[in-house]
Structure 1
């Protein structure tokens, strides 16, 4: 992924990397020209008098309107603002990943740039994060201001997600969340997988809480949510579910299914063989005989696929020093 970045601060603040930042706010943007100025004002109203140091990282995901121009103007006026500009549209998950990679705050806040999330909720999320001693706080838009069609689709998606991932939060579509910095540094985000970050972190052993947040109707611009994102999100959900359950030993799912298929094929073939040997029944016109052969072949292929997946997983974990565990604390 290629990006252009503006990571400057005012000269009297020095290098951003040398400053101690309490909160990093990551905001992906795509064609939100009219929302930039009111969003920056809302952020300033919520955070300038807050007793925490902060930075705001805007990620321009290949906007084709005046979004980047508005961001540069805001950057010149506010030393807390940083800008990451993509060369093209890579998607919201990639935008959030870029923002997380550049965030240096102890707490990382993600939120949308369409003014539907309220920056005034940020102190509340931080309070819950610290009071509950958890790793992640997910915003819950209990009173949504979206069109009915979008709300119904979202409720169905949430129900499907909870049934597949066993993750308990009410609103996976709410981008407004607070994370401890270490939670987001090893996330691999692509496609529409940002919706399932809580499920991914829960699988890794991080603790998650919820907090109700405000939600406003969209005042400017056009929603980027459409049926294509729904389909992509569902496919990513299947990947997440598989990765949660079988990422360490994929042979368990492939091999298990292969053994069942092969066993069924052997049983069916054995029964047909007994009929042929002892009762003289012909097998040439028996579709069940072809089914038995097919089940055995499919079973063998599934077992081989599981072995190959295990080999690829060993390469994945061993190639760049990745580990299949996370250490919370080490006492020596």
Structure 2
């Protein structure tokens, strides 16, 4: 497989970025949409049916962002807990919209059966810039670990610290986009002084299971539900999706805790990371949002039907 170094306008090929390169990268970022206009009013409209919890403040001067979660109104610590996270990568729009749509349209279906905690937009600064990283050129979804360098990740971990043992199921909503290949992977290689290995973007929906605690029946149930909404990504010629072997239709595996991924934040028995493909001609934005909602509902339904004691 070919590699290249002369691919990104910031930095010296083969040399990791210093603070100067990070500052040059930050200067290129532009605010393209509004967390205050798009996300906060949508959360506010749900206040009648949900408790709204402010679990921190993201501070990137001169801007600050309240970090908000939706919590079941009939919260009961004796019940298991379902966690839904969106917008860990701020540019992955259907994750934010899907989390909000689930809360608005289907949250009531689980009242009295399982507590729900929905965090629609973990990374509001990146949401506004349609970016993968935070303002320090750090990927929050590789930073869910002790002494996290990402404020977004640290705040979410603090919110969940007293709740981890209750979490039965966690659905983390993501997208794989064309800009992963055109911008974000080249930027990552440049930042780290590494060679860029060009890859391909899968056309369709897929899931990432936890390779250290796989739940194939759970993943299959989610894939089956989403297949009614949008198409499932096929394996490439190597039997892989984004460089990982396909272990079942539409499913790959990562060691989520070792990689510092959001899906590993609780150690829940049932975890999955959704990956929607929003850039193809075969899926509309509405289908992408609906796929996220279908994945959440299928995951919760399966977990409730197959409870595992923590």
Structure having greater relative contact order (Cα 8 Å, sep ≥ 6): 2
Same structural fold, with TM-score higher than 0.5 when normalized by the shorter chain: no
- Is the strand fraction higher in 1 or 2? 2
TM interval, short-chain normalised: 0.3 to 0.5
Specify the structure having the higher radius of gyration (Cα): 1
- Is the helix fraction higher in 1 or 2? 1
